[in-house]
Amino acid sequence: MLRATDLTKAYGEVQALNGADLSVEPGQVVSLLGRNGAGKTTMLSIIAGLLRPDAGSVELGGIDALAKPEAAAKLLGIAPQETGIYTVLTVRQNLEFFGELSGLNGSARASRASEVAEQLGLTSLLDRRAGKLSGGEARRLHTACALVHAPKLLMLDEPTVGADVATRLQLIEAVRGLAAEGAAVVYTTHYLPEVEALDADIVIIDDGRVLAEGTREQLVAEHELRGLRFVVDGGLPSGLQWDVTEVGEGTYRVLGDLDMRDLLAAFGPESDRLVSVEALKPDLETVFLAVTGNRLDAEPDGGPDARAAAQTTEEVGS
């Protein structure tokens, strides 16, 4: 359905995409994983015809989307990060308006509006003005507007930011339902449990390049990361020779083929300050770390924000 090849894009000095590829088949959900600034939005914008690449090609349903953007646009629905609904229109009017823009007319438009409202739990809100929706409801409407014309390729850029658990579940169910009906879906998120819930294939992007792709199982098998995570009372011993990363308050991670005995030996007389130790578990978080050398929630260049993020989020293997 989608074949984007060798996409390259610079914004002045910033090389946002550096020869990135993305392919999605009908019925497939691909989760695009990358840190802030990795190039995900740039990639989606190029595929959606909102941005010209410096080089590369985009083929959508057999159409050269860069040469024929209008024909390609009919095949796709995109929900960008910022919600783009009309607050003075009702939920139904929003859905019908976006349906009309995509070429739906008359009764088809009305029935698709009702269908997607049902899928995303908006039926009881159809006559309410969009400006009077809660944040989660507005986000569901934003997504519903992208899928009202039953696109063959649906691209959702972090659709669950700020959404509560019920909204997340509804969105995930709706996306799975669309894929089951044959749509190709690209889904970006920083939230790994969603990737698992979607049962999505994964593409890891960093610095504008695709570094790994495959199913969760394939990636976990290929990029197993060995190491320990441990909690220390009172900070690391001053003479510790290991390359240790602090990943939370008093919590550290060290990579390598190590076990508990190595840790006890390294701490020597100070080993009584070790509160807990566990092996890193093979999961998507460790895959991401193994592939990119970074945590998914860290800032691109590390620094204070990354440190703050590391201290406030769950860590590898927890």
Q: Which residues bind ligand ATP (CB under 6 A)?
A: 11, 14, 16, 34, 36-42
Distance (Å, whole) CA 43 – CA 51? 9
Rounded to a whole number of angstroms, the minimum distance from the CB of residue 204 to ligand ATP is: 11
**Ramachandran angles phi, psi of 283, nearest 5°:** -150, -175
CB 280 within 8 A of CB 286: yes
Distance (Å, whole) CA 216 – CA 318? 18
Nearer to ligand ATP, 86 or 191 (CB): 191
Rounded to a whole number of angstroms, the minimum distance from the CB of residue 309 to ligand ATP is: 13
Rounded to a whole number of angstroms, the minimum distance from the CB of residue 38 to ligand ATP is: 4
Distance (Å, whole) CA 195 – CA 187? 9
Nearer to ligand ATP, 297 or 315 (CB): 297
Percent helix, strand and coil across the chain, each to the nearest 5? 40, 25, 35
Rounded to a whole number of angstroms, the minimum distance from the CB of residue 175 to ligand ATP is: 19
Distance (Å, whole) CA 124 – CA 255? 52
Rounded to a whole number of angstroms, the minimum distance from the CB of residue 46 to ligand ATP is: 10
Q: Which bin fits 162, alpha (ψ -120 to 50), beta or left (φ > 0)?
A: left
Rounded to a whole number of angstroms, the minimum distance from the CB of residue 263 to ligand ATP is: 35
Nearer to ligand ATP, 9 or 229 (CB): 9
Nearer to ligand ATP, 39 or 49 (CB): 39
Read off the tokens for 268.
Answer: 């020597």
Nearer to ligand ATP, 17 or 266 (CB): 17
Judging by beta carbons within 10 Å of its beta carbon (0-12, 13-18, 19+), is residue 244 exposed, middle or buried? middle
Nearer to ligand ATP, 34 or 49 (CB): 34
